[in-house]
Amino acid sequence: MRHGNKINHLGRTHSHRKAMLSNMAASLIKHKRITTTLAKAKALRVYVEPLLTKSKDDTTHSRRVVFSYLQDKEAVNELFREISPKISERPGGYTRILKTGPRQGDNAEMCLIELVDYNENLLGTKDTKAKKSRRSRRGAGTKTEAAAKTTPAEKPVETAPSEEPVAEKTDAPEAETDSTTVAENQEEPSAEPNDTTKES
Helix (H, G, I), strand (E, B) or coil at 57: coil
Nearest by Cα to 55 from 29, 21, 34, 36: 29
- pLDDT at position 185 is 55
Taking the domains of the chain in order of start, what are their residue ranges?
14-121, 135-200
CB 73 within 8 A of CB 30: no
- pLDDT at position 183 is 52
Residues 74-89 have a mean pLDDT of: 95
Q: pLDDT of 27-79, one tens digit each?
A: 999 999 999 999 999 999 999 999 999 999 999 999 999 999 999 999 999 99
Helix (H, G, I), strand (E, B) or coil at 36: strand
pLDDT tops 70 at residue 21: yes
- pLDDT at position 62 is 97
Distance CA 181, CA 95 (A): 76
Q: Give the list of residues 6+ apart from residue 109 with CB closer than 8 angstroms, or none.
A: 37, 38, 39, 99, 101, 102, 103
- pLDDT at position 2 is 85
- pLDDT at position 109 is 97
Q: Which of the four pLDDT bands, split at 50, 70 and 90, describes residue 174?
A: low
Nearest by Cα to 86 from 114, 109, 56: 56
- pLDDT at position 200 is 45
Q: pLDDT of 104-157, one tens digit each?
A: 999 999 999 999 999 888 777 555 455 555 665 676 555 555 555 555 545 455
CB 103 within 8 A of CB 110: yes
Options 3.90.1650.10, 3.40.50.300, 3.90.1030.10, 3.30.1950.10; which CATH number does 14-121 get? 3.90.1030.10
Nearest by Cα to 35 from 110, 130, 137: 110
Q: What are phi and psi of 78, to 5 degrees?
A: -60, -45
Q: Which of the four pLDDT bands, split at 50, 70 and 90, describes residue 184?
A: low
Q: How many CB atoms lie within 10 A of CB 83?
A: 20
Distance CA 165, CA 89 (A): 56
